Amino acid sequence: MPIYADRIRTKLTAEFAPAALDIEDESARHAGHAGAAPGGETHFRVRIVSAAFAGMGRVERQRRVYAVLASELAERVHALALETRTPDEAAKA
């Protein structure tokens, strides 16, 4: 049962009202590395497209996402690979 993936999805959706959100559990790729744990849900790749990111630089966007997911990062989630874009940026990619 993907508890942390669901929590990440719920929190990011509530905070950023994304036009697109993809959450991938990459924990299996990190088995044996720092922060890895049995059962996964320690390493995630998050791709989020939201108008809420307009006017923000890459670092500010990432800070906002980390702030929203602070409790997950303190509990089990060891690493987040983030791709944060506005709808205009996503359309050009």
Query: Could you report the per-residue pLDDT of 45-74, keeping only the tens digit for each?
Result: 999 999 999 999 999 999 999 999 999 999
Domain borders along the chain are: 3-92
* DSSP code, position 26: -
pTM for the whole structure? 0.86
Give one DSSP letter per residue of 41-92, joined into a string.
-SEEEEEEE-GGGTT--HHHHHHHHHHHTHHHHHHT--EEEEEEE-HHHHHH
Q: Is 75 exposed, middle or buried (0-12, 13-18, 19+ CB in 10 A)?
A: exposed
Please give the CATH topology (third level) of the domain spanning 3-92.
Answer: GMP Synthetase; Chain A, domain 3 (3.30.300)
For residues 2 and 41, the answer to whether their CB atoms sit within 8 Å is yes
